[in-house]
Amino acid sequence: MKRLFIAPLILFLSITTPSWAADPIGSIKGQLVNGTPQGSSVANQEVTLHTYSGEQETGTTTAKTDAEGGFQFTDLKTSAQYSYQVTITYQEAEYNSPKVTFDGGENTKPLVMKVYDATDSDSALKVVFSHVIVFPQKGNLSVAEYYTFMNQGDKTYVGRQVITPDNKKETLRLPVPKNIRQVQYEAGLMECCVVPSPGLLSYAMGVEPGPTEVLFSYLVPASSGQALIARSLEYPTDRFEVLIQGEEMTADSPQLTNQGVVNIEGTRFSRLTGENLPKGAQMSVSISGVPGGDIQDTLKWAVVAAALVTTLGASSYWWWRRPARPALQPATATITSSQKALLQELADLDDRFEAGSIGQAEYHRLRTQRKTQLLNLMQRQRSGPKG
């Protein structure tokens, strides 16, 4: 009798799903598209799925595209803690999808990934905007550099010269003063792919068609209140601009035009600009009157720099697409309370790291997380409301 009872019980348990059962599973249905007109085939390409639980990567799996570039990943956990990212290396260039999550009730997510044919010629690259933003700090200059590059072609630039042990090639050349220190890669640059050398930061990731924004910062020591920022331009540059905080410092450049003083987030900046500069043009800015005392308001520095990036990032696209050049106007910028809160967290995090109360690995993890959140907020602010 017991055997007759147990058999139906096992059958019942096998066809019912209790509340504590495993999460529902889902799938990602992807499509690889070549954005280069009459470009190469996207058939039989290996794509890799990265699985994350929270911020921790937990595994990878691969798939091959079909004759039309389609691919699929199945048996994916769909609870809120899991996210997925698809990557592919196509003709030497690496491409990464946005992270994919399953919202409540979803079990299938579509994903379109665009790739391009590759080129080793940088003839289509130029700089739309190059901004050098200078703040005084403890007898040094804190400098933030913001670029908008434009790849005007229809192929991803992958470089020629190998610069890393894993055979990655140099794609962007970012000239800097030779004596910089405390370099921070804030946006558009992965630290693992930057190769620094005296006077130059070399980058080793492909440059896709369209705009690429880059932001990084560093310290330059000042001697007897004097400092020099000089370089040879690596690319044709539509507009080069230097903003120097405070009226106690003075700046002079034989190549740039002094546009007077502008007010940004309540802070006054001297502004020097140049336009339509050829590749190889020599640029130099002599700065004097650098204060030697401690500049305490590092958060204010970060707030103003973030506001400048928000404003200048939007104006870069306007400048590139403009039908005619209007007269220069004083810049204005605003920054939200959410951005200020994240900037405060970054400043506190830096203080904790300098005080030794947080380890290097955790510091870099949290700093990358907060910077990503901040940049997402700034990007949404530049894009404006959708509707």
Residue 385 buriedness (CB in 10 A; 0-12 / 13-18 / 19+): exposed
- Please tell me the CATH code under which domain 125-298 is placed: 2.60.40
Q: What is the pLDDT of residue 55?
A: 84
Strands (DSSP E) contained in 222-278 are 226-232, 237-245, 250-252, 257-264, 267-277
Report how far residue 70's alpha carbon sits from residue 287's, in angstroms, rounded to the nearest whole number.
56
The distance of Cα 327 from the centroid of its chain, to the nearest Å, equals 30
Domains 24-116 and 125-298 share a fold: yes
Q: What is the pLDDT of residue 375?
A: 57
| Cα dihedral sign, 271-269-376-365 | positive
Q: What is the pLDDT of residue 357?
A: 77
Report how far residue 214's alpha carbon sits from residue 207's, in angstroms, rounded to the nearest whole number.
11
How many angstroms separate the first and last alpha carbons of the chain?
Answer: 67
Nearest residue to 342 (alpha-carbon basis) of 311, 282, 299: 299
Provide the residue count of the chain. 387
Phi–psi pair at 323, nearest 5 degrees: -80, -30
Phi–psi pair at 320, nearest 5 degrees: -65, -35
Q: What is the pLDDT of residue 50?
A: 96
Nearest residue to 150 (alpha-carbon basis) of 302, 5, 317, 274: 317
Tell which CATH classification among 3.40.50.300, 3.90.1150.10, 2.60.40.10, 3.40.50.800 matches the domain 24-116.
2.60.40.10
Return per-residue pLDDT of the chain as tens, 387 residues: 444 444 444 444 444 444 445 568 899 999 999 999 999 999 999 999 999 998 899 999 999 999 999 999 999 999 989 999 999 999 999 999 999 999 878 899 999 999 999 999 999 999 998 999 898 887 788 898 999 999 999 999 999 999 989 899 999 999 999 989 889 888 888 888 999 999 999 999 999 999 998 989 898 888 888 888 999 999 999 999 998 987 788 889 999 999 888 877 677 888 999 999 999 999 999 998 887 655 444 444 555 565 565 555 544 433 344 443 333 333 444 556 776 677 677 767 766 766 777 776 676 667 666 665 665 565 555 455 544
Neighbours of 163 (CB within 10 A): 17
Q: What is the pLDDT of residue 307?
A: 58
Report how far residue 298's alpha carbon sits from residue 340's, in angstroms, rounded to the nearest whole number.
12
Report how far residue 107's alpha carbon sits from residue 78's, in angstroms, rounded to the nearest whole number.
7
Report how far residue 29's alpha carbon sits from residue 49's, in angstroms, rounded to the nearest whole number.
12
216 and 184 in contact (C-beta within 8 Å)? yes
Report how far residue 252's alpha carbon sits from residue 349's, in angstroms, rounded to the nearest whole number.
36
The residue extents of the domains of the chain are: 24-116, 125-298
Neighbours of 344 (CB within 10 A): 14
